[in-house]
Amino acid sequence: MKGFCIVNKPIGITSFDAIRQVKKILREKENIIEKKIGHAGTLDPFANGVLILAFGRYTKLFFLFDDMPKEYTALGVFGEMRDTDDVEGNIIKKSDINNKLSFEELEKIIKENFKGNILQKPPTYSAKKINGKRAYDLARDNQSFELKASEVCINSIELLEYDYPYFKIKTSVSKGTYIRSIIRDIGNITGNLAYTKELTRVSIGNYNINIACTIEDIEKTKYSHFLKCSMT
């Protein structure tokens, strides 16, 4: 097998779980044993959306996706800080204020602070490496460490909905940008604290969720139907 497949990863499984499920379907349904399967751009278990799978020698071409912008929608919740900065984490602090901004006030804060090149501190539970170890492994072992802020680029950001304590944004970002950090930092700037409740990757470059297949689609239809062998 060779080529790419644009999958809409469901909520509740890891990106590697998605690969394992596809491998199982290929083996049991089409008698295909493909050892070389990888993915571009990990999605957290609580997130859904575009996950690009590559097969065979196409796994060597993931670098082609590195500089492509990634678009997301995210639902944030004011009032709490969580250790993972998302809905799956433990509450570590609750806000003692309820700064119920207007839509226009929140929109202005977002546009003034989260556009263009910014310094962003990754979430404590992230894949960043410290002395060869992943930050999330150190955090789970209750080890103390400090993650340095790095420069990322937010191409665009828009406040879609706001009904306190919930707010929804749409953003296009560069490689290495954490949407959980954007939501967390919006909470910090407003004084409300915030975490990410829902996250969807809408696209990677021109590969949009509208053309993505589901794992259920692969079960029902011959897999080659979803295989793409070009970068156009």
Domain segments of the chain as ranges: 3-67+206-226, 70-204
Fold designation for 3-67+206-226: Pseudouridine synthase (3.30.2350)
Nearest by Cα to 75 from 52, 48, 101, 99: 48
pLDDT in tens, 69-101: 999 999 999 999 999 999 999 999 999 877 789
Model pTM?
0.90
Q: Looking at residue 166, what is its pLDDT?
A: 97
Binned at pLDDT 50, 70 and 90, residue 1 comes out as low
Q: Looking at residue 158, what is its pLDDT?
A: 98
Q: Are the CB atoms for 22 and 39 separated by under 8 Å?
A: no
Q: Looking at residue 77, what is its pLDDT?
A: 97
Q: How far apart are CA 205 and CA 29, in angstroms?
A: 31
Catalytic site residue from 17, 44, 66, 85: 44
Residue 11 has pLDDT above 70, yes or no: yes
User: Is 44 one of the catalytic residues?
Assistant: yes
CATH number of this structure's domain 70-204, picked from the four choices 3.40.50.10300, 3.30.2350.10, 3.90.180.10, 3.90.79.10:
3.30.2350.10
Q: How far apart are CA 85 and CA 62, in angstroms?
A: 28
